A = this chain, B = another copy of it.
Amino acid sequence: MRRLMTPRFSPLEGGLFSSVSKADVGEGAGELIKAGVDVMAWADPFFPDPSIPASVQTVMAEAVASGLPSHYTMPIGSADLRGVIAGKLGTRNGITADPSRNILVTPGSDSGLLYAMMPFLEQGDEVLVPDPSYPSNFANCRLLGAVPVSVPLRAEDGYQLDPAALEAALTPRTKMVLISHPNNPTGTVFRRDTLEALARFVVAHDLILVCDQAFEDHVFDNIEMVSPATLPGMWERTVTVFSVSKGLGLSGFRVGYLVADDRIMDVLYGGAVNVLGATSTLSQIGAAAALKDETILPAYFDILDRRRRLAHAAFSAVPGVRMQMPESGILSWLDIRALGTATEVSAHILRTARVLVNEGEPYGAEGAGHLRIVHGCFMDETRAVDAYSRIAGALQLLSRDSQLLPA
């Protein structure tokens, strides 16, 4: 039936016939877990350990006992959750949002991200996408008939977006800039001056910015986290994508939200039932409870701040591995070109350390020879550190083989 499909979809494969390479989608990872492998390839904080905070458990248990979460909320999200989100946007993002006009709750930010792009993209439109970044940033463009245009991020620049690289990628077909901020996989937090230059570029060329802030919650070293929607001229041309998956560690709840100007949101509300449907009622209740509990983020911040240092210490000590200290979140991004291809090195880590990590290629052309490791796995620090050491040990073996280390 592929013959009856559009050229945007017919090349897709879900890995029905290749369980390992598509471990993310199919049963591959499940089999590995059963075989005792640690999966550090899902951006799922604290996986696989229990991690619903007690305050959130209490509220959800009460909701289950009430028997009421069997019913739909409004497709745009429950009034309660939108109210809580509006408060959070004000205090944490500097965004003044009307909960009935500027906020759309989505069943996770994955579908939210695609939906944020959908109204704007026409066949052949070009989207500027920092490279490396979240694989969906490239794939979503293609699914919508648009063309992702890579804008390289360089290690030498600390992976900051280079305004000259944006200008160089611009064509008359450019319609949108799509960024993950902080960036996945590099963890980079784009600085105010970078974002101001980006904003001037977007306004000057009459573009749309889609800004995915799924990782905004844990930004270290007192780096300022600026929401581009707050910059001059940007509110009316930015759709910001948020999630409770990463910072609050509630990936399984599947709650995200889009924030935009009334005139964009009117359209997004108009298609919400069709494209997204409502979001799980119980998940919205849990998300609201988590957003209200002001102790969660600081507690996780401390854990994850320590983790990134431990991960960085373990991985960057290996000769041939280049890695910057993560500025945010739960991800380590390793340049392992001196040790082999990402496919070779990740296979070696799987075999030797029994840990599944991500190859860099899906994150863009710049991801070749890189690995992404979700160092924010496990609640238990001992177990996390043990996994880091096993990975480092495996890398060290390669290092030795490549004669980067004395034998």
List residues of chain A with CB under 8 Å of any chain B CB.
1-2, 4-6, 9-10, 12-17, 22, 24-27, 29-30, 42, 44, 46-52, 57, 60-61, 64-76, 79, 100-101, 107-111, 114, 118-123, 136, 139-140, 143, 175, 206, 208, 236-237, 245, 249-254, 261-283
Known: A4-B120, A5-B119, A208-B4. A64 touches B67 (CB 8 A): no
Alpha-carbon gap, A49 to B69, bound state (A):
10
Query: What are 21 A-B contacts defined by CB distance under 8 Å?
Result: A1-B261, A4-B208, A5-B119, A6-B122, A13-B270, A16-B266, A26-B269, A30-B79, A57-B65, A64-B64, A68-B252, A72-B251, A107-B254, A107-B279, A107-B280, A109-B277, A143-B271, A252-B280, A252-B282, A254-B280, A283-B283
Q: Are B48 and A267 in contact (CB under 8 A)?
A: no
Say yes or no: A254 contacts B271, CB within 8 Å: no
- Are A276 and B110 neighbours in the complex by a CB distance under 8 Å? yes
Q: Chain B contacts of A15 at CB under 8 A?
A: 266, 269-270
Chain B residue numbers with a CB within 8 Å of A14 are: 76, 265-272
| Given known A-B contacts A140-B274, A270-B14, A71 and B57 have beta carbons under 8 A apart | no
CA distance A283 to B110 in the complex (A): 18
For residue A119, which residues in chain B have a CB less than 8 angstroms away from its CB? 5-6, 9-10, 12
- Minimum CB–CB distance from A342 to chain B (whole Å) comes to 20
Given that A136-B274, A280-B283 are known contacts, is A48 also in contact with B71, CB under 8 Å in the complex? yes
Which 3 A-B pairs have CB atoms at the shortest separation, nearest pair first?
Answer: A14-B269, A50-B67, A12-B270
| C-alpha spacing A271/B14, complex, angstroms | 7
B74 touching A10 by the CB < 8 A rule?
no
Starting from the known contacts A6-B122, A50-B70, 20 additional A-B residue pairs (CB-CB under 8 Å) come to A4-B208, A6-B119, A9-B120, A12-B119, A13-B269, A14-B268, A16-B262, A17-B266, A24-B273, A50-B66, A51-B67, A52-B68, A57-B64, A69-B253, A108-B277, A110-B276, A111-B277, A136-B273, A143-B271, A252-B280
A325 to B406, CA, bound (A): 84
Out of B12, B66, B100, which one reaches A27, CB within 8 Å? B100
Contacts of A270 in B (CB 8 A): 9, 12-15, 25
Closest-CB distance, A284 to chain B (whole angstroms): 9
CA distance in complex: A121, B7 (Å): 10
Contact B25 A276 (CB under 8 A): no
CB distance from A259 to the nearest CB of B (A): 14
Which B residues touch A64, using CB under 8 A? Answer: 52, 57, 60-61, 64
- When the two chains form the complex, which single residue of B10, B26, B74 contacts A30, counting CB atoms closer than 8 Å? B74
Contact present for A25 and B75 (CB under 8 Å): yes
Q: Which residues of the partner chain B approach A46 to less than 8 Å between Cβ atoms? A: 70-71
CB contacts (< 8 Å) of A72 on chain B: these are: 42, 44, 47, 245, 251-252
Instruction: Determine the residue in chain B with the shortest Cβ distance to A42.
Output: B72
Residues of B with C-beta under 8 A to A42: 72
CB proximity of A71 to chain B, nearest CB, Å: 5
8 Å CB contact of A121 from B6, B60, B109? B6
Q: Quick check: B266 and A13 within 8 Å, CB to CB?
A: yes
**A278: chain B residues within 8 A (beta carbon):** 108, 110, 252, 254
**CB–CB B74/A29 < 8 A:** yes
* Contact flag A25-B70 (CB < 8 Å), given A110-B274, A252-B282: no
CB contacts (< 8 Å) of A48 on chain B: these are: 68, 71
Least Cβ–Cβ distance between A385 and chain B, in angstroms: 21
